[in-house]
């Protein structure tokens, strides 16, 4: 199984731009951009916790198991 981040999708559903998410979560804009754009990027648990808190979701809502091909 591979883990896929859903940060971009969840943020969009909740009306957050990258800039707003960065400001309110206190996560660097470049980190947010990398999470959005780089499917191989693995942010720290602390970063995911801050993003989840800002979006008012659990970390589990930000990740998805994807079967290996």
Domains with residue ranges and CATH for the chain: 2-66 (1.10.260.40)
d(CA 12, CA 69): 28
Q: Where are the beta strands (DSSP E) in the chain?
A: 2-5, 63-66
Tens-digit pLDDT profile for residues 1-46: 678 899 999 999 999 999 999 999 999 999 999 999 998 899 999 9
Angle at 42 between CA 58 and CA 14, to 5 degrees: 40
* pLDDT(68) > 80: no
d(CA 3, CA 66): 6
- Are residues 4 and 66 in contact, defined by beta-carbon separation less than 8 angstroms? yes
* pLDDT(57) > 90: yes
The answer to whether the predicted template modeling score (pTM) of the entire model surpasses 0.85 is yes
């Amino acid at each position: 199984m591979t883990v896929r981040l859903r940060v971009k999708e969840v943020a969009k559903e909740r009306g957050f731009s990258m800039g707003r998410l960065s400001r309110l979560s206190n996560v660097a804009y470049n980190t947010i951009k990398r999470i959005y754009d780089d499917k191989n990027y693995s942010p720290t648990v602390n970063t995911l916790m801050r993003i989840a808190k800002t979006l008012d979701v659990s970390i589990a809502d930000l990740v998805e198991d994807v079967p290996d091909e």
